[in-house]
């Protein structure tokens, strides 16, 4: 049995395909069309999933969409009419899209997929809940979902047992921890639904100076429920701005405009706002733990990507274990919709656990060789993995920034060892080098460590043998180790850790092991293989383009190593030839 899950028409559209209860493929549309946070129908992602499974749409038994559009439309319509005429422009902007496309999503999906199969629908937060619980290692678990907004719900909690999910409590729009964080992001001059990581990265440089003012903005109760003080917000009648003049008067400054200087005020706002979000999530999780008496927690929704809050939940709420799948945001809801239909609706037993994120396309040596030859790059082919790993580890040790391109693409916003930039965490200058020469982004942005799991507890304040495979937890770097690995130790002494095993991470584990054998340090810097404003690379052509236009030193693709760059003229000619053939060779 094949079930296709789809999420789209808000942000980060994606698709996931399962066969007999096991995930076959999952990917975001942005990776294919190179338009970051793409929200329209994920045609290319669906095509990839079907191709990976070796089937056509005719072989798909069920198609499930990640939310219920009629319920969502009722919320939007009610919100617009309640606040008329302030919502006039919102009406003008949104109604044509709804009336022509979103209100008839079932027919739209059938048209896009060229099928007459029935389209099934799952509520937004049930899709999120299913995306975590039904692929988790737990037979039973408490569940918390939190994001901007689905249909009406913005936050929900409940329990999962076997294949059943029971969401017992909800917080409804306009009260939303996700939209609160969006307002903070916007106020700091960053792009909403794109740069929330910047707020988390900036927060450790600040102080909780404005936490009391945030408590005026949010009424947080002891059971973790909360209400936003709506006199400070505009998201009920505007999609262009999240807060109003009263918000600016409360905090004493106008919003920061894009690319202007970040000063101590902005750092303190980031710190205080992040602490407020952490308070909400920890208080809620503590209440859910006491109410459900469960030891395991599954967390999903965009707020589930707030790795600092996740670590505090694990440390302070009373839960012994936590699971967050790597695509916790809306793209991962496609995964949840598929599993919800297969396991919960159709009552099929669970037989899959998500242990890694490698569910996207891969390219064999023939594809890589063709792309390299067309580009004009000089390369070396290694038929012995041991030699490839030893030379790459030595290059990292010598200060090189390595573009590491292997196997299947990751699902979710984090590169986890298959489309990664890898460098030496011992070099105190490496963070600034990568930010300036490769990522072209703000100097305050931290980099994460990938560490051999058997050594993680030695370098981080976490239990021995603990899994953190998706870079969604932020323990402290042990004080005695901070001088050894300064490039991954953030301003507050933490590190957004990824634990790596040979079973789940294969060649990436063996690379770090080779670096450990060479240096005695069992971890490296891992950041995504892309530049600012672009999605993570998908194809060999994407990888070559990014390599050539940045300060990356080595490109390691499959068994091929590129350690030198040709002159710009040769490269441009080669890339022109490569781009002409890319459309036809992309997935062969």
Residue ranges of domains in the chain = 2-135+328-345, 172-323, 365-585
pLDDT class of 436 with cuts at 50, 70, 90: confident
| For the chain, percent of residues with pLDDT exceeding 70 | 94
Q: What is the mean pLDDT of residues 510-526?
A: 98
Rounded Cα–Cα distance for residues 401 and 553 (Å): 5
Q: Of 94, 102, 99, which is closest to residue 239 (Cα–Cα)?
A: 94
Q: What is the DSSP string of 426-450?
A: T-TTHHHHHIIIII---TT---EEE
Q: Yes or no: say if 446 and 496 are a contact pair by the CB < 8 Å rule.
A: yes
pLDDT recorded at residue 192: 87
CB of 141 closer than 8 Å to CB of 298: yes
End-to-end CA distance of the chain: 25
Within 10-152, strands assigned E span 14-19, 22-28, 62-65, 119-121, 140-146
74 or 520, which is more confident? 520
287 catalytically annotated: no
**Other Cβ atoms closer than 10 A to 428:** 12
Q: Quick one: pLDDT at residue 237? A: 66
How far is Cα 523 from Cα 270, in angstroms, rounded to an integer?
A: 29
Phi, psi (deg, nearest 5) at residue 269: -65, -45
> Rounded to an integer, what distance in angstroms lies between the CA atom of residue 549 and that of residue 405?
16
DSSP per-residue string spanning 369-430: HHHHHHHT---EE-S-HHHHHHHHHHHHHTT--EEEE-SSPBSSSS--SSEEEEE-TT-TTH
pLDDT on residue 575: 42
CATH topology of domain 172-323: Nucleotidyltransferase; domain 5 (3.30.420)
Q: What is the pLDDT of residue 586?
A: 38
Residue 88, pLDDT > 90, answer no
pLDDT tens digit sequence for 251-307: 999 999 887 899 999 999 999 999 999 999 999 999 999 999 999 999 999 999 999
CA 455 to chain centre: 25
pLDDT in tens, 162-180: 999 999 999 999 999 999 9
User: Which stretch of 149-153, 191-195, 485-489, 533-537 has the lowest confidence by average pLDDT?
Assistant: 191-195
Residue 49 belongs to what H/E stretch? helix 43-53
pLDDT at 481: 98
Higher-confidence residue of 119 and 74: namely 119
CB contact set of 239 (below 8 Å; sequence gap of 6+): 90, 93, 94
- Whether the CB-CB separation of 241 and 186 falls below 8 Å is answered with yes
pLDDT of 241 over the 90 cut: no
Question: What pLDDT shows up at residue 82?
Answer: 75
Of the candidate ranges 82-96, 393-407, 433-447, 557-571, the one whose mean pLDDT is the lowest: 82-96
CATH 2.30.30.60 is held by the domain 365-585: no
What pLDDT shows up at residue 581?
A: 41
**Predicted local confidence at residue 197, as pLDDT:** 87
Does domain 2-135+328-345 bear CATH number 3.90.190.20?
no
How far apart CA 510 and CA 500 sit, in angstroms, is 10
Choosing from 2, 11, 128, 235, which is the catalytic residue?
Answer: 11
Residues 185-239 have pLDDT tens digits of: 999 999 888 889 899 999 999 999 999 999 999 999 999 999 999 999 988 766 6
pLDDT of residue 238: 65
Least confident of 76-80, 459-463, 480-484: 76-80
CA quadruple 23, 24, 29, 32: dihedral, nearest 10: 150
pLDDT tens digits along 114-137: 999 999 999 999 999 999 999 999
Q: Using one digit for the tens of pLDDT, what is the confidence trace for 19-63?
A: 999 999 999 999 999 999 999 999 999 999 999 999 999 999 999
- In this predicted model, which residue has the larger pLDDT, 91 or 303? 303
pLDDT digits (tens, 9 = 90+) for 346-391: 999 999 999 999 999 999 999 999 999 999 999 999 999 999 999 9
Mean pLDDT rounded to a whole number for the chain: 92
d(CA 52, CA 26): 10
pLDDT given for residue 86 in this prediction? 73
Are 2-135+328-345 and 172-323 equal in CATH topology?
A: yes
Predicted local distance difference test score (pLDDT) of residue 483: 97
Predicted TM-score of the model (pTM): 0.93
587 pLDDT exceeds 60? no
pLDDT for res 569: 36
């Amino acid at each position: 049995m094949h079930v296709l899950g789809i999420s789209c028409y808000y942000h980060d559209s994606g698709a996931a395909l399962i066969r007999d209860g096991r995930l076959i493929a999952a990917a975001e549309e942005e990776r294919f069309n190179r338009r970051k946070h793409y929200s329209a129908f994920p045609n290319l992602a669906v095509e990839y999933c079907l191709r990976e499974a070796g089937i056509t749409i005719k072989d798909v038994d069920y198609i499930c969409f990640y939310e219920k559009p009629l319920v969502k439309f009722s919320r939007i319509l009610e919100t617009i009419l309640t606040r008329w005429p302030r919502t006039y422009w919102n009406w003008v902007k949104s109604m044509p899209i709804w009336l022509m496309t979103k209100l008839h999503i079932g027919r739209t999906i059938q048209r896009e997929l060229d099928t007459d199969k029935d389209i099934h629908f799952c509520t937004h937060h049930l899709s999120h809940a299913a995306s975590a619980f039904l692929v988790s290692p737990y037979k039973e678990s408490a569940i918390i979902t939190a994001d901007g907004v689905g249909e009406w719900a913005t936050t929900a909690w409940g329990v999962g047992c076997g294949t059943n999910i029971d969401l017992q409590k909800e917080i409804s729009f306009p009260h939303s921890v996700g939209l609160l964080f969006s307002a903070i992001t916007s106020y700091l001059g960053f792009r909403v639904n794109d740069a929330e990581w910047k707020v988390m990265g900036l927060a450790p440089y600040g102080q909780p100076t404005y936490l009391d003012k945030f408590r005026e903005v949010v009424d947080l109760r002891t059971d973790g429920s909360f209400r936003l003080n709506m006199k400070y917000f505009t998201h009920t009648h505007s999609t262009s701005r999240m807060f109003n003049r009263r918000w600016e008067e409360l905090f004493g400054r106008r919003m920061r405009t894009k690319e202007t200087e970040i000063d101590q005020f902005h750092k303190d706002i980031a710190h205080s706002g992040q602490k407020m979000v952490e308070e909400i999530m920890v208080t809620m999780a503590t209440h859910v733990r006491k109410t459900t008496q469960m030891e395991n927690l599954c967390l999903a929704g965009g707020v589930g990507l707030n790795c600092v809050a996740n670590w505090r939940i694990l440390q302070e709420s009373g839960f012994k274990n936590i699971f967050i799948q790597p695509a916790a945001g809306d793209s991962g809801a496609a995964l949840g919709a598929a599993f919800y239909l297969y396991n919960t609706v159709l009552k099929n037993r669970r037989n899959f656990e998500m242990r890694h994120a490698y569910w996207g396309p891969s390219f064999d040596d023939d594809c890589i060789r063709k792309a390299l030859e067309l580009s004009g790059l000089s390369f070396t082919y290694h038929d012995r993995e041991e030699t490839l790993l030893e030379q790459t580890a030595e290059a990292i040790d010598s200060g090189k920034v390595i573009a590491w391109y292997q196997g299947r693409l990751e699902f979710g916003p984090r590169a986890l060892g298959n489309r990664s930039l890898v460098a030496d965490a011992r070099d105190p200058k490496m963070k600034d080098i990568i930010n300036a020469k490769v990522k072209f982004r703000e100097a305050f942005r931290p980099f994460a460590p990938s560490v051999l799991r058997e050594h993680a507890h030695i370098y981080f304040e976490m239990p021995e043998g603990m899994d953190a495979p998706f870079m969604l937890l932020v323990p402290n770097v042990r004080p005695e180790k901070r001088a050894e690995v300064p490039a991954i130790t953030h301003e507050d002494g933490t590190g957004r850790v990824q634990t790596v095993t040979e079973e789940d991470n294969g060649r990436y584990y063996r690379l770090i092991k080779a670096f450990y054998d060479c240096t005695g340090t069992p971890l490296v810097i891992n950041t995504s293989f892309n530049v600012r404003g672009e999605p993570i690379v998908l194809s060999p052509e994407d990888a070559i383009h990014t390599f050539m236009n940045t300060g990356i030193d080595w490109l390691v693709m499959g068994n091929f190593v590129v350690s030198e760059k040709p002159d710009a003229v040769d490269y441009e000619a080669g890339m022109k030839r490569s781009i002409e053939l890319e459309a036809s060779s992309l997935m062969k």
